[in-house]
Structure 1
Amino acid sequence: MSLNDHLNEANLPHLPSSIGRPTYDRSSITSGIVHIGVGGFFRSHLASYTDELLNCKLSDGEQRQQDKSSQQDTSCWGICGVGIREDDARMAAAMGPQDCLYSLIVKHPNGLVESSVIGSMIDFILGTDDPSVVISKMASPETRIVSLTITEGGYNLSPATGDFDFDNPDVVHDLEHPDQPKSVFGYLTAALKMRRDAGAAPVTVLSCDNIQHNGDLARRMLLRFAQRQSPELASWIEDQVTFPNSMVDRITPVTSEADIEYFRVQSGLVDQWPVTSEPFRQWVIEDRFANGRPAWEQVGAQFVPDVSPYETMKLRLLNAGHSVLGIFGALHGYETINDCIADDRFATYLRSFFDREATPTLDPVPGINLDDYKDSLIERFGNPSIRDSVSRICLQSSSKLPVFLIPTITDNLKAGRSIHLATLVIAAWCLYCDRQVDQNGKPLDIVDDMKEPLHQAAKKTADDKRAFIRYTPVFGDLAQNEDFATTYETLVDDVYRSGDVTQSMQRLLDDTAD
């Protein structure tokens, strides 16, 4: 395979007309956005919105639409991707020969597939060998936004204490070697110090992770780190840098070899790392930017004063719903989320969880009919063209469940409402962590930073039914709530006794039916 076979700038004119591509001159684009954590979701979401905005043109004779906030032409809003982990070298190796171009393959439920080439990421740099390159880029005056998709675990939050984890080895390193950071907060602090010292304009830190109040969390964690390093710098950050909250949504499965082959056959070119997604996408953002922003509202994003009701809706319905299906589906032996939804037992359980336990914890969401939204989730989860893997959904569950599911349990406990449907998920997760095989004896593909301690806690269940929920880094003091603990004991006993999670699901639905 030679570079002549690759998707790259030189080969764009050779793409079939059925494949969309940048209509703008990428050589004229500057990177006003630096993005940390270039993965599938970022490429199907923020980069896709930005590419569409860059492609926007007004009719002949009219001037190009300019961004209302910054009064800058849209050409200043290209993206420089950044990798700060060793694993990011794979993305750098893929994007280099492709001039940072990649294909977005959108799969509709009816079988329609639409492909386009995304060009909004114009550069990719690694910080693992030389952090100063990334720090300088983030500190550059042309950089106005530093955006993040670093996953739930990237925020270095201790679930037990709710505070910044200063015992993290990378954090310890960064405090001792501020010019050679390893953590995202080490990089951000070093770059912001450089901006302050140079008298550069402030910057916006924009989190695009599936975390409630993601901007507030990014701000709190960064300030905690910066205060330990330099109280004066922390004060400057607090005064100058903005951290808008955002709600993001687009189901983006892991890229498969079949996806790579699909694009090769369709285009005649090799994309080493295409990204696939569903057609649905949503982005709700608080309009708090320190130094201008792209006019993403022109391509479907929604700017609001307060994102809270939207993000809570999404976290407690879509994200929690994914975890419900993922854990149950993994134990049952299903490979994909759409396989789960095709099973009426799973679809019925999920809708019952939505209606009985998740929805009562939600405030009204302006412009959203919750029944319609829940219907759409069932349809999206069941998209047979997406085939989102159960193992991907279960990835890092120890970071996801404290954000997606446990808050619903705690809110319902306070209000005296039902917790049974969500608690069964926790009981099933215990069995998942303990036996690490599905009901057919097939090993589960478990990827979780807390895999081993969770396994050790779960395997004590035979002697102590509450052992798993006493693992405070995930559950905090939840085991001390007697209503939860007794409910959990009953359900974990049922799950272990039956060995078939669908039987436990059905019994619980029957027992709690109105």
Structure 2
Amino acid sequence: MTRLTEAALCALPASVQKPAYDRTAHAVGIVHLGVGAFHKAHQAVYTDDALAAAGGDWRIAGIGLRRPDAEEALAPQDGLYTLIERGPEGPRARVIGALAEVLTAPRDPARTRALLTAPSTRIVSLTVTEKAYGLDPATGGLDAARPDIAADLASPDAPTTAVGWIVHALGLRRTAGLAPFTPLSCDNLPENGAVLGRLVREFAARVDPDLAAWIAAEVPFPSTMVDRITPASTDETLADARRLAGFEDEAATETEPFTQWVIEDRFAAGRPAWDAAGAILAADVRPYEAMKLRLLNGAHSLIAYSGAVAGLAHVRDVMGREDLAALVAAHQDAVARTLAPVPGIDLDAYQRDLRARFANPAMAHRTVQIAMDGSQKLPPRLVEPALEALERGLPWRTCAFAIAAWMRFLEGRDEAGAELPLSDPLAETLRATLAAAGSDPGDRARALLALEAIFPPTLSRHDAFARTVAEDLARIVRDGMLPAARAALEG
């Protein structure tokens, strides 16, 4: 079967939506770091729709910072790929044309540098996952001792990290008298724009204080809230792309019908008409961000750890268990009380819609995929709402249970003995902590809660909270995840 390329667009079935604009008429205006499934299901789709609605030189050059997978899949396809939306009525396909070029920085640093310093590049967006920012969770600033960050600080003209590349490119633009681009984080970090701005300025201050001052004065770092459930692609994804679009597509991506993007409207040199594509432009993203991190992502973490330990492979399987689905609803109801009002959002309806999305039978979102990088995800998703609930006298019981479920997940085996992979930037620290704590669940819980990179002392030293986490972990180990979940609901 022929591979999907520009020449194939005219042969797509009428049922498959294709780019509603002339791709050759629009130049690159965005460089995106981290061309993974989420970018292809979210920002690239909004940009595709914005180009169709309002045009402009806003196509995307995608850059992989580590592996060449995206380049090898997309470059032979002229940047085109099939997006499969899985709804209750069955899969639906469209072809996205916003990507103009895809490369890998380690393979072609010169081209990467040229794209980042091109006068036409006005936005540099990122989906590199939380762990790739070089963030020190204890300080909220740059972790200069982390090996990849330390290497970039030692050789700032040969960067490998996202922050290193942004500082390097901004320095070259300043020297050349070019206006800065707008760095745009699209990762699940609280106040992601402010976080990225701090990391960039702190990195720059270590290599060129004058550059750091220029960045502080000239470069905006808008925050965003992103939402679209996007499982990893599977053989079924590729098969559906072949069946629906009629072409081989090594870059096919699947997602849910729902999508949301809230953007702080603060750009140095303009932006695409993302609002015409359905994005919400806001003066303050924080209420939306807290809503999503606590109600969606926090519930996802609870689902991931409880489900994986119980041997439930997918989010939909967890939601198919009455006891676990009830615990998810109770958790959302509890953490919703920590939220400020969100403009235009009915929080009760938002929670119901989330649970319907989680239960979507067409979405095979693996629990172990969500369980990755827990040390980075737990603080904004579970720790912060637990702290706020404790301070305000609000319910916190389900946060404690979710953290205990994470602790049980760290043991590396589910209840049937199957291996659970630990993919986490603190993996060695977590393993060493558990080994030193011994086999008693209470000792293990207390040792893990003492890790200040994840849990602040105000939480770990809260007697009732720490005791509840330890008791929950002991009950999970003794009785199993499902009986422990029922007990948490009752108490």
> Normalised by the shorter chain, which TM-score bucket?
over 0.9
Choose from 51, 60, 70 the match for 1:91.
70
Choose from 4, 11, 34 the match for 2:8.
11
Which digits, 9 at most, give the CA deviation of each residue in 1:473-499, with x for residues without a partner? 22243323333222222222222222x
Aligned residue runs from structure 1 range 461-472, under 5 A: 462-463=439-440, 464-465=443-444, 466-472=446-452
- The question of 1:508 aligning with 2:488 is answered yes
Across the aligned residues of Structure 1 and Structure 2, the Cα RMSD in angstroms comes to 1.4
Choose from 27, 31, 34 the match for 1:30.
27
Find the aligned partners of 2:22 and 2:420 in 1 and give their Cα distance: 47
Find the aligned partners of 1:18 and 1:129 in 2 and give their Cα distance: 38
Which digits, 9 at most, give the CA deviation of each residue in 1:146-185, with x for residues without a partner? 0011111112112233321001112222122121111111
Shift in Å, 1:508: 1.5
Q: Could you tell me whether the CA contact under 8 Å between 2:233 and 2:252 is conserved in 1?
A: yes
- Report the equivalent of 1:301: 279
Shift in Å, 1:470: 1.5
Find the aligned partners of 2:38 and 2:161 in 1 and give their Cα distance: 21
- Report the equivalent of 1:403: 380
Which digits, 9 at most, give the CA deviation of each residue in 1:64-123, with x for residues without a partner? x4xxxxxxxx230100101121x2x01111111101100110011x23221010000101
Find the aligned partners of 1:461 and 1:306 in 2 and give their Cα distance: 46
Choose from 322, 341, 355 the match for 2:300.
322
- The question of 1:388 aligning with 2:388 is answered no
Aligned residues: 486
Find the aligned partners of 2:401 and 2:78 in 1 and give their Cα distance: 48
- The question of 1:458 aligning with 2:439 is answered no
Letter in 2 for 1:452: E
- Report the equivalent of 2:102: 124
Q: Could you tell me whether the CA contact under 8 Å between 1:203 and 1:240 is conserved in 2?
A: no
- The question of 1:419 aligning with 2:416 is answered no
Give the secondary structure class of the aligned counterpart of 1:361. Answer: coil
- Report the equivalent of 1:440: 416
Give the secondary structure class of the aligned counterpart of 2:31. Answer: strand
- Report the equivalent of 1:133: 111
- The question of 1:286 aligning with 2:283 is answered no
Letter in 1 for 2:460: A
- Report the equivalent of 1:484: 465
Which digits, 9 at most, give the CA deviation of each residue in 1:315-374, with x for residues without a partner? 000011111100000011001001111111111001101112x11110000110000000
Letter in 2 for 1:421: T
Find the aligned partners of 1:80 and 1:426 in 2 and give their Cα distance: 39
Shift in Å, 1:203: 1.6
Q: Could you tell me whether the CA contact under 8 Å between 1:287 and 1:303 is conserved in 2?
A: yes
Find the aligned partners of 1:232 and 1:160 in 2 and give their Cα distance: 27
Q: TM-score, normalised by structure 1?
A: 0.92
Question: Which runs of 5 or more residues in structure 1 are unaligned?
Answer: 57-64, 66-73
Letter in 2 for 1:154: A
- Report the equivalent of 1:71: none
Question: Which runs of 5 or more residues in structure 2 are unaligned?
Answer: none
Aligned residue runs from structure 1 range 309-388, under 5 A: 309-356=287-334, 358-388=335-365
Q: Could you tell me whether the CA contact under 8 Å between 1:433 and 1:451 is conserved in 2?
A: no
Aligned residue runs from structure 1 range 192-203, under 5 A: 192-203=170-181
Shift in Å, 1:44: 0.6
Letter in 1 for 2:202: R
- Report the equivalent of 2:248: 270
- The question of 1:157 aligning with 2:135 is answered yes
Q: Could you tell me whether the CA contact under 8 Å between 1:286 and 1:307 is conserved in 2?
A: yes
Would the alpha carbon gap of residues 384 and 158 (structure 1) be closer, same or farther in structure 2, given more than 3 Å must change? same
Q: Could you tell me whether the CA contact under 8 Å between 1:135 and 1:188 is conserved in 2?
A: no
With 279-288 and 155-164 compared, the bigger mean Cα shift is at 155-164
Letter in 1 for 2:484: S
Letter in 1 for 2:469: Y
Find the aligned partners of 2:320 and 2:199 in 1 and give their Cα distance: 41
Find the aligned partners of 1:502 and 1:467 in 2 and give their Cα distance: 24
Give the secondary structure class of the aligned counterpart of 2:77. Answer: coil
- Report the equivalent of 1:474: 454
Letter in 2 for 1:493: A
Find the aligned partners of 2:107 and 2:253 in 1 and give their Cα distance: 27
Q: Which runs of 4+ in 1 moved over 6 A?
A: none
Q: Could you tell me whether the CA contact under 8 Å between 1:332 and 1:501 is conserved in 2?
A: yes
Choose from 44, 54, 68 the match for 1:47.
44
Find the aligned partners of 2:20 and 2:466 in 1 and give their Cα distance: 58
Which digits, 9 at most, give the CA deviation of each residue in 1:255-303, with x for residues without a partner? 0011101111223311002111100000111110111111111111110
Shift in Å, 1:461: 5.2
- The question of 1:188 aligning with 2:166 is answered yes
With 278-287 and 257-266 compared, the bigger mean Cα shift is at 257-266
Q: Could you tell me whether the CA contact under 8 Å between 2:56 and 2:272 is conserved in 1?
A: no
Shift in Å, 1:205: 0.8
Q: TM-score, normalised by structure 2?
A: 0.96
- The question of 1:79 aligning with 2:56 is answered no
